[in-house]
Structure 1
Amino acid sequence: MFRNYLITTIRSFRRNISYMLLNVFGLALGIGCSLVIYRVITYELSYDRHHENFDHIYRVTRADHQPDKIEYGSGVPHPLGSALREDYSFIDEVAKVDYQYGAIVASWEGDVQLRRLNEDVGIAYAIPGFFKVFTFESISGDLAKGVEELNSAVISDEWAKKYFDLTDATLEQAIGKRLTINSKLSITIKGIFKAPPKNSDFPFHLIIHYHNLKDMNPYYEDGTRWNSTSSSTNCYVLIKNETDKAQLLASFPEFVKKYYDEDAVEELEFGLQPLSDVHFNGEYENYGDRTMDMRLIMALGVVGLFLIITACINFTNLATAQAVKRSKEIGIRKVMGGHRGQLLLQFYSETFIITAIAALISLAIAELFLIQLEDILGYRLSINLLGNPQMLTFLVLAVVSVTVLAGFYPSLILSKMNPVLAIKNKITSDRHTGGLSLRRALVVIQFAISQALIIGTIVVLMQMRFIQSQPLGFEKDAIINVYIPDQEHPQTLETMRNRLLGVSGIEAVTFSLGAPLAGSNSNSNFSYPDGGVTDQYSANFKIADENYIDFYGLQLLAGRSIRPSDSLKAVVINEQVMHIMGIDNPAEAIGKKLTTGFNGNKEVVGVLKDFHIFSLHSELRPAMIIYYPGAFYEMGVKLSTTGDAVAKIDNLVAEVDKVWSETYPDFIFDYDFLDKQIADRYQTEKNVSQLFLIFSGIAIFIGGLGLYGLISFLANQRVKEIGVRKVLGASMGEIIFIFSKEVVVLLGVAFVVAAPLTYWVMRGWLDDFAYSTPFSPVFFVLAISVSLVIALASTGYRSFLAARVNPVESLRSE
């Protein structure tokens, strides 16, 4: 029986090759794109699930309650981990870890240096309990014992091969080898672990004894200060009992009261964040330096579903448009004894074969897309059906679902045709194949989906454009930032500055903790008791030299800039701080005294116009600028953009490299452009906008195929009407207008459905930004205009074919 169905199906395909190709191509695109989206979603959802205790690991988080807001963070004081271990016996294990960005790592064989590289990421400092909480596969040695002593460390197999020229067979030779970090810390390798997978927010390749932080980070000190926190210092706890978890949360207020001042009880709140939330919660940072909002994942899933639905609608429209052509075949089958069940099976078999062929083609489409999307996604994925049962299951379910959804209505309509009418050629499209109402409804759904995707894409693109054009309150163009490895010799910095300023094309040089909007930040509390402001507010302290304000073009409203003689006693504030002080006139703030948690009281010597210190997701924040050479970790160099200087940017960077490398011969020069650093903060939004643009275009294309099916249906239904109109003198343009009018009406109905829903969804997305582009009616005008152009273009060809048919052919049977 199946052989008979297969032969009949092949014959049907040969007679309707264009119908076959349109169906296969439309379904292949829909299934292929859904495979890509499913692969991306499952990859994002798989982050850190390789840890055996995944469901029982929690990060201790912090909420700082201030008079005007609550600030959330994952950075905790260094002694918190030890205190939790001592105070709560029901905690199964505590993992205290600090992750340092950027270091010069050198490997040694005795006194001979083997390799020296600049590592941006990969170095962590942890206590032995870290390996009892997290799963790192040991290759050699006991990992927990490997970090029990000072100057001891464990290394990944990837780094062991890189630094000691080893292979899988000789990895154990790394045990006992020596590495140096920034020429300050010498460590001995005591264990080797398998490098963490790419889908991990713990990209550690070198894990060192926790207390060796004192050799690398001056903020660490003795590790016992409770009033000092860093976002790089995190504490994780392993709690397998839900009751114990609830008990820990309930006891945190008493914990704060025990280790902090009395005032902190009302201001500080500790919480627990599940490991499953670390990759998706943008309120907190993670060591992978990237979060993926769960709403974006859901949006991608909806797009994938839309693509499948659009492809199924496309199939239904094309299949029912062919129903009249197959009416005699169906009538003969019924007269010869074929019952409805057999016909249903026949048509479902055809649908399954088409879907199966489309699914095979979709694999190639998906692989091609994943290769092309690598730069957008930031990682390389593959479908790999044989090695990924989850993907194979999804593909099988997709084929079955598409077969059922796409084949149900055409099979139902075709199988119930009256055989007498079919043989007499009395089957009409409007009365016997479901009429126009369903097809119109399906096309409206397609249009609504397409327009929703277009509007969403336009909003995302306009928001990205808004972000890139929004003034930040400081200059960011033609500025490179370079890491400074030595803060102990200020005169070295002045010598380097003078040498750089002697290079033609270099306009200015400044030293600081970081640029106005940078990843390196220092925060502390402040109050203004003399003005009656006794509540503690949080401010961002920008540690900088006397050239910083002019270098970044910050606008001084009153007073002066900071000076070397100010040390830590004077401060330049922004308008946000001034308003908290209750002062409206910048000149009145000069000379006022602030109480701060950053080394005591400060005198206000200047007031700056507000500038952004975080991305546009956040509102303007209080900021202060102080002079403190001990925290100058970054050098800013402003390059000239006048004359032919732009063409010589590479030469200028090479000059900076030369001076810097001569100043610090034991380190490797590494730089980045400030405007690129800022743009990278919106990389997720940029990537999402590109994905939406791509998949929206594909959904629109598939919808265009569906429109072709509808116009084919209308042309078959109205072939004699068109012939009569031509005989009576109607022009080709007038006939094409008949079909175009139908499309315009359906497009309008779809717009009424899509616009309100899309507005609600995208308005919520824009609300995540403190500063966002206005939701303009232009977005909707653009969406419907684009849809109209594409719709008319996709229907034009089929309308043209219908209009140029010789009326003698269409009216001959009359």
Structure 2
Amino acid sequence: MFKNHIKIAWRSLKKQPFFTFLNTFGLAIGMAGALLISLYIHDELSFDKTFADAERIYRIDTDIKFGGAEMRSAEAAAPMAAAMQKDFSQVESTVRFRDRGSLLLRRTGTETNTKELRVSFADSTLFDFFGIELLVGDANTALEQPNTMVLTKTAAEKHFGVDNALGQTMLLNNSDTYTVTGVIDDLPKNSFLREHTVFMAMSGYADAQLINWGSNNYYTFVKLIPSADVADFQEPLEGMLDTYMLPWAQQHFPGITKKSFIEAGNYLRYHTMALTDIHLYSNRDSEMSANSSIQNIYILSFIGFFLIVLACVNFMNLSTAYSLKRAKEVGVRKTLGSNKMELIRQFLTESGLISFISLLVALILTMIVLPFFNELSGKAVSIPFSNAIFWGILLLATILLALLSGSYPSFFMSKFKPVKTLKGGAQSSVGGGNIRNTLVVFQFTITVFLIVSTLVVFQQLNYIQSKDLGFSKGQIVLVEDIFAVDDRLASFKEEVLKIGDVKNATISYYLPTPSSRSNSSYFMEGAMTQENAIQMQTWNVDPDYIGTLGMELVAGRNFNKQYATDSTAVIINEATLKVLGMNAEEALGTQISQDIDLERPQFYKVIGVVKDFHYESLRENISALGLFWNQTPGILAAKISPGAYTETLAELENVWETFAPGQPFNYRFMDDSFNTTYEAEQRLSKIFIIFTVLSIFIACLGLFGLAAFNAQKRTKEIGVRKVMGASVSQISYRLTVDFLKLVGIAILISLPLGWYAMDKWLQDFSYRIDIPWWVFLLAALLAVGVAILTVSYQSIKAAIVNPVKSLRSE
């Protein structure tokens, strides 16, 4: 019988090609979308699980409130790892990283540098800790000695190949010589180390050897012994404040006690973060690599699930719409002895056949669009064709999909009464209108919800792009690695300023877009106690910084080269005034210092107050910041004339070649650098658009099917109305308005849901939009417009039928 069911199902599908195409294509679109989302989610959930003993590895995070500033850092103090290794029996091993950023690298004896974007100091335990094998070299000794380095395979091949790498010497930033002691394979794309290409020995980094508990700059990981429970580890971790931090602090802040520290409103707390949770659950001030969010996983899971459900609903509606054409077939089968279960098996076989055809189409569609999806999402996922588990899940999901999508049409058609269907009364025997209407309401509820979400995400991103940030990011080109010009920095800047379309230029490591950050504690003259500490960002800039970046002074003046005393001056932002408890005029002339433990501290005089500008993500509030005149060779930012990019960049490169021959000319635009801060949101918005369009398309197919069903069921009613004088427009209106009622119900349900969900999403931003009322209106109008366009075709088609044909059988 199964063979017979397959044969009949195939004949039935061939007999109705348009219906088969709609059903197959609708299911295939839903399956392809869900498959892409599933591959994305699987990649996100797999982060850092490839490392050895990943389930026993934790990062030490630090929460600090001191000097009016609160910090949630992913880093800890340099001596933290050694202290835990010594004091805690639960700790099996530790490893630290100190991010170095980017550097220029070249083989000794050559002239041309290569830029490595992600470089880090690391302890020698790195390879054993994470189970990373070396392609060449000894993992136990590779990073033991100072001035040694390990490269990834890609980095090694740039210079001398993997086999020839061992023992080679390389020059870092044209100054420091390092010896290559090992090469590892490129690190997994789904790991927090994915962008790192060079690891340098921590033993050669002087700061790492200091007992300094006040500077949290080291990513510190611990591996617990197999029998340890991380919950038991938390209590002794908190005790490190008393054991180590306070004794160190008392050397620098005389008289400080735990009581006075807490009564001043301060705190210092250490936490553990599981390695496998970092990518989705960690959102701290200084992450080692860009993380995602578990919220995005929930959102995409929701979209993927409902894409499948929408496709199933679409299948149900189209199947029931076509059921009238098969009513006589059901009647004949029942008359000839077919029972209800046999008919159900027949129709489920047909839905199963459509599902498996849809699966093949979905796989083809996925393979076609996967490269574009990877580019959009920033992933490198692939379909695991060789994985038996993947095929098992896919086949099981297809079978469940066939049962889910085919169950209602199968039971629905098996209920046809043969007496009525053979007399031509199929219309009165089909029923089930409430279920079909509910399915349409469900489809459009999800669709309108996605439309609202997409519009809100776009509005927030537009707000970010157009908000007054307190600085100008347009027409500013950033030339990187200018330390390559050595001691001719001032001459280099002068030559850049001679370029006709360069309006201004400044040199600094510190920019309000992603760049270096430095936090320090300062104290006002006359209040040199820890209770009066001011925690603020310390940025070294030159006198042209404020002018080049278009910042505004609200009081005082800028640095001036004519005043020698400005070398000990500081310009603070408005957020610092709130910490000081002063207005701008009162703050001018006050003096601050870091040197609480020195007899003769170095004071810096406040000469100006700059208007607050956003230097962190808009998720964060603006905190205290001080600009100090101390030129550091990091990045040159040049303000250039609009429309002169090509010529100006060419001239900049010529100046660069004069001052740094053979060195790579690396540049970027500040607005592009700013946009990288919100790359995750931009990708999410694009994914929203794609899958919202898909959901609208699938919902339209379902509505199209129901409109066809409704028009077919009411053929004689339409005929009677036309005979009684009804016009085509009146009949079309009558047929269309019934569906608009369903869409209206869907809108009333989805709009509050959309507002609630997106209001929660916006709470992640300290600076955010209020969801405008027109977003809901536009979403409703789009839904109504799509519904009218979809239904009108079937309505008009039914309305123009000759009434003689529709009433002939009466």
Q: Which moved more, 1:244-253 or 1:772-781?
A: 244-253
Q: 1:344 Cα shift?
A: 1.2
* Aligned AA (1:544): V
C-alpha change, 1:716 and 1:744, in structure 2 (3 Å) is same
Q: 1:682 Cα shift?
A: 0.6
Percent identity of the aligned residues?
Answer: 29
**Which position in structure 2 is the counterpart of 1:753?**
749
Q: Secondary structure of 1:503's match?
A: coil
Q: 1:800 Cα shift?
A: 1.9
**Which position in structure 1 is the counterpart of 2:192?**
201
The answer as to 2:247 corresponding to 1:251 is: no
Alpha-carbon distance between aligned partners in 2 of 1:536 and 1:264, rounded to the nearest angstrom = 15
* Aligned AA (1:602): Y
The answer as to 2:575 corresponding to 1:583 is: no
- How many residue pairs were aligned? 787
Q: Secondary structure of 2:522's match?
A: strand
Alpha-carbon distance between aligned partners in 1 of 2:149 and 2:76, rounded to the nearest angstrom = 23
**Which position in structure 2 is the counterpart of 1:546?**
543
Is the 1:531–1:582 Cα contact (8 Å) retained in structure 2? no
The answer as to 2:669 corresponding to 1:673 is: yes
Q: 1:339 Cα shift?
A: 1.7
Q: Deviations over 1:97-116 (max 9, x none)?
A: 123221111124xx456x63
C-alpha change, 1:522 and 1:136, in structure 2 (3 Å) is same
Is the 1:76–1:235 Cα contact (8 Å) retained in structure 2? yes
**Which position in structure 2 is the counterpart of 1:446?**
443
The answer as to 2:215 corresponding to 1:213 is: no
Q: 1:567 Cα shift?
A: 6.1
Alpha-carbon distance between aligned partners in 1 of 2:68 and 2:712, rounded to the nearest angstrom = 68
TM-score, length basis structure 2: 0.93
Alignment of 1:469-508 (within 5 A): 469-486=466-483, 492-508=488-504
Q: 1:516 Cα shift?
A: 2.8
Is the 2:485–2:492 Cα contact (8 Å) retained in structure 1? no
Q: Secondary structure of 2:379's match?
A: coil
Alpha-carbon distance between aligned partners in 1 of 2:660 and 2:654, rounded to the nearest angstrom = 10
Alpha-carbon distance between aligned partners in 1 of 2:684 and 2:464, rounded to the nearest angstrom = 15
* Aligned AA (1:297): I
Q: Which moved more, 1:752-761 or 1:367-376?
A: 367-376
- Structure 2: gaps spanning 5 or more residues: 251-255
Q: Return the match for 1:457 from 454, 457, 467.
A: 454
Is the 1:50–1:135 Cα contact (8 Å) retained in structure 2? no
Q: Secondary structure of 2:488's match?
A: helix
C-alpha change, 1:399 and 1:117, in structure 2 (3 Å) is same
Q: Return the match for 1:786 from 776, 782, 785.
A: 782
Q: Secondary structure of 1:665's match?
A: coil
Alignment of 1:268-287 (within 5 A): 268-284=268-284
**Which position in structure 2 is the counterpart of 1:592?**
590
C-alpha change, 1:653 and 1:498, in structure 2 (3 Å) is same
C-alpha change, 1:729 and 1:363, in structure 2 (3 Å) is same
Alpha-carbon distance between aligned partners in 1 of 2:574 and 2:110, rounded to the nearest angstrom = 55
Q: Over aligned residue pairs, what C-alpha RMSD do you find?
A: 2.3
TM-score, length basis structure 1: 0.92
Q: Deviations over 1:760-806 (max 9, x none)?
A: 11000011111111111111001011111111111121112111211
* Aligned AA (1:301): S
Q: Secondary structure of 1:412's match?
A: helix
Q: Deviations over 1:120-164 (max 9, x none)?
A: 22x222112122221213323322311111222222222222321
**Which position in structure 2 is the counterpart of 1:184?**
175
The answer as to 2:611 corresponding to 1:623 is: no
C-alpha change, 1:703 and 1:615, in structure 2 (3 Å) is same
Q: 1:307 Cα shift?
A: 0.5
Is the 1:31–1:359 Cα contact (8 Å) retained in structure 2? yes
Q: 1:334 Cα shift?
A: 1.7
The answer as to 2:797 corresponding to 1:801 is: yes
**Which position in structure 1 is the counterpart of 2:375?**
375
Q: Secondary structure of 1:173's match?
A: coil
Q: Deviations over 1:379-437 (max 9, x none)?
A: 333223x2234532342232122111111111111123222222222222xx5323311
Q: 1:537 Cα shift?
A: 3.8
Q: Deviations over 1:540-571 (max 9, x none)?
A: 12210111112212111111123463466321
Is the 1:278–1:284 Cα contact (8 Å) retained in structure 2? no
The answer as to 2:220 corresponding to 1:235 is: yes
C-alpha change, 1:244 and 1:391, in structure 2 (3 Å) is closer
Q: 1:747 Cα shift?
A: 0.9
Alpha-carbon distance between aligned partners in 1 of 2:764 and 2:708, rounded to the nearest angstrom = 45
C-alpha change, 1:452 and 1:244, in structure 2 (3 Å) is closer
Is the 1:543–1:632 Cα contact (8 Å) retained in structure 2? no
**Which position in structure 1 is the counterpart of 2:253?**
none
**Which position in structure 2 is the counterpart of 1:336?**
336
**Which position in structure 2 is the counterpart of 1:217?**
none
Is the 1:567–1:628 Cα contact (8 Å) retained in structure 2? no
Is the 1:573–1:604 Cα contact (8 Å) retained in structure 2? yes
C-alpha change, 1:70 and 1:627, in structure 2 (3 Å) is same
Q: 1:472 Cα shift?
A: 0.2
Is the 2:484–2:660 Cα contact (8 Å) retained in structure 1? no
Alpha-carbon distance between aligned partners in 1 of 2:784 and 2:501, rounded to the nearest angstrom = 52
C-alpha change, 1:179 and 1:25, in structure 2 (3 Å) is same
Q: 1:518 Cα shift?
A: 3.3
Q: 1:86 Cα shift?
A: 2.6
The answer as to 2:174 corresponding to 1:175 is: no
Alpha-carbon distance between aligned partners in 2 of 1:695 and 1:23, rounded to the nearest angstrom = 19
Q: Return the match for 1:663 from 651, 659, 665.
A: 659
Q: Which moved more, 1:140-149 or 1:718-727?
A: 140-149
Q: 1:244 Cα shift?
A: 5.6
* Aligned AA (2:736): S
